[in-house]
Amino acid sequence: MDHLDALESQSVYILREAFNKLDPLGLLWSLGKDSNVMVWLCRKAFFGRVPFPALFCDTGKKFPEMYAFRDRYAREWGLDLTVEPCPPVEEMDPTLPPAARSSARKTYALKSLVQRLELKAVIAGIRRDEDATRAKERYFSPRGENAEWDVREQPPELWDQFKTDFAPGTHIRVHPLLHWTEVDVWRYIRREGIPVVDLYFAKGGKRYRSLGDQDITHPMTSNAATLDEIIAELEATRAPERAGRAMDHEAEDSFERLRVAGYM
């Protein structure tokens, strides 16, 4: 068994635990590379199916290529797609910096989805190597009534025994990709032939390394136009993956504040 097999098996194990223990369950599908890998892993875990709804929080500001990708693969992969529009930015916490404020819209859409579908848990494709607060996450991460994350009281998690007993009103985030790194994700995409949005591949000396809203996501300088070139680039670089995501960098605590309030 090689490294990618091991990563895949661990994620499949987590997805199956979530499916067995948490009902009803939803999968956040942001259309990015990680969430496409997640859909793929679900189909591996459940033998071709994704036996719960795929949730898309629509900011209305994604790239046109992303919407086209969504419509095509929701059909091809047989997803039960549920779209939730995000509330306007004016309704967000005014003390947040501008890009974080814009990102907070997704948190609100997610909360209303959870309420409307009465979801016990949501699967999200975050990884430890993306950000220092995500590095401290659990595979099964309990959230309070308002989706808030209590970083001081995280449950022990050992030997793949996850927290599966909860007080009423608790909501769970499940993170099956927590142990993957960015280059692992690309190597797996290459091995499995998983489709991704074209924006990841360089055109005119630029490419997107991480995809979000058009107005707060910036491309990086790159000539990596193929999977092999992207992987080679990532093996050499020391630049962080989310450098092009404005909301991470506005203030030291802006991303933690977003996440404590319920952001992915």
> Which residues make up the interface to other proteins (CB under 8 A)?
1-6, 8-10, 12-13, 16-17, 19-20, 43-49, 51, 128-129, 131-133, 135-136, 138, 151-152, 154-159, 161, 163, 165-167, 170, 181, 183-184, 187, 228, 231, 235, 237-240, 243, 252-253, 256
**Is the Cβ–Cβ distance between 57 and 86 less than 8 Å?**
yes
- CB 90 → other proteins: shortest distance, Å? 27
Q: For residues 3 and 75, which CB has a smaller minimum distance to other proteins in the complex?
A: 3
**Is the Cβ–Cβ distance between 243 and 65 less than 8 Å?**
no
Q: For residues 1 and 204, which CB has a smaller minimum distance to other proteins in the complex?
A: 1
Q: For residues 52 and 56, which CB has a smaller minimum distance to other proteins in the complex?
A: 52
Joined tokens for residue 230 = 């992207």
- CB 92 → other proteins: shortest distance, Å? 20
Q: For residues 84 and 184, which CB has a smaller minimum distance to other proteins in the complex?
A: 184
- CB 85 → other proteins: shortest distance, Å? 32
**Is the Cβ–Cβ distance between 82 and 55 less than 8 Å?**
yes
Q: For residues 61 and 179, which CB has a smaller minimum distance to other proteins in the complex?
A: 179
- CB 47 → other proteins: shortest distance, Å? 5
- CB 172 → other proteins: shortest distance, Å? 12
Map residue 161 onto helix, strand or coil: strand
Q: For residues 24 and 85, which CB has a smaller minimum distance to other proteins in the complex?
A: 24
- Across the chain, how many H-helices and E-strands are there? 7, 8
Of 149, 92, 143, 83, residue with least CA distance to 116: 83
- CB 166 → other proteins: shortest distance, Å? 6
Torsion of CA 169, 170, 171, 176, to 10 degrees: -160
4 vs 128: CA distance, rounded Å: 17
Of all helices (H) and strands (E), which one includes residue 56? Answer: strand 54-58
Rounded to whole angstroms, what are the CA distances from 263 to 64, 89, 248? Answer: 24, 15, 12
